[in-house]
Amino acid sequence: MKILVINGVNLNLTGKRERAVYGAETLGEIEAELAAFAEERGHAAEFFCSNLEGELCTAIQNAEGVYDGIVLNAGAYTHYSYAIRDAIASVSVPVVEVHMSNVYAREQFRRTSVLTEVCRGEILGFGKYSYFLALESFWL
Ligand code: DQA
């Protein structure tokens, strides 16, 4: 399977921002581990990261017919982006929503996701391992 891992706003700063919440590994380091994890299991993981909502929508649109699944950490867009929600609903590629932190144990606004309803499922709270679990869900 070919899976696209999409990271949204501020996730490019992973490893540098709020380390107590998101860990000390950079996004690049996590992506390299994810690529190896998929490859060792006979699959492929590719990566896209942007701070821009529209670019995230375009990446989701362009995944149609190209990828078997999307792992999506939309960052704070999760909580209010109807544009990303509509992009997910517009494609037949299944999307698994991911969060590194346990969003239910944080501020009230993080408890709302406008994306979950149109996603296949959601994995959160396991740090970088949320991504690994989400990837694995595609080939279970
Ligand atoms: C996050 C949780 C979001 O609430 C936050 O805005 C992020 C990261 C996570 O991975 O835990 O940027 O999606």
- 73: Cβ below 6 Å to ligand 1? yes
Query: How far, in Å, from the CA of 99 to the mean position of ligand 1?
Result: 6
Residue 111: CATH number of its domain:
3.40.50.9100
Q: From CA 102, how far away is CA 104, in angstroms rounded?
A: 5
Confidence of residue 113 (pLDDT cuts 50, 70, 90): very high
The tens digit of pLDDT for each residue in 51-102 reads 999 999 999 999 999 999 999 999 999 999 999 999 999 999 999 999 999 9
Strands (DSSP E) contained in the chain are 2-7, 44-49, 69-73, 95-99, 121-124
Residue 11: closest CA among 71, 92, 89, 86: 71
Marked catalytic residue, from 22, 67, 77, 131: 22
Task: Check residue 80 and report its DSSP letter.
Answer: T
Q: From CA 85, how far away is CA 44, in angstroms rounded?
A: 25
Give pLDDT, residue 36: 98
43 annotated active-site = no
Q: From CA 132, how far away is CA 48, in angstroms rounded?
A: 16
Residue 115 to residues 27, 33, 69, 87, 126: CA-CA distances in angstroms? 22, 26, 15, 10, 19
The domain containing residue 78 runs over which residues? 2-139
Give pLDDT, residue 79: 98
Which residue's alpha carbon is at the smallest distance from atom 13 of ligand 1?
75
The burial of 108, by beta-carbon neighbours within 10 Å (0-12 exposed, 13-18 middle, 19 or more buried), is given as exposed
Q: Domain count of the chain? A: 1
Give pLDDT, residue 12: 98
Mean predicted confidence (pLDDT) in 20-45: 98
Confidence of residue 40 (pLDDT cuts 50, 70, 90): very high
Q: From CA 107, how far away is CA 47, in angstroms rounded?
A: 28
Give pLDDT, residue 51: 98
Give pLDDT, residue 135: 98
Q: Where are the alpha helices (DSSP H) in 6-51?
A: 19-22, 27-40
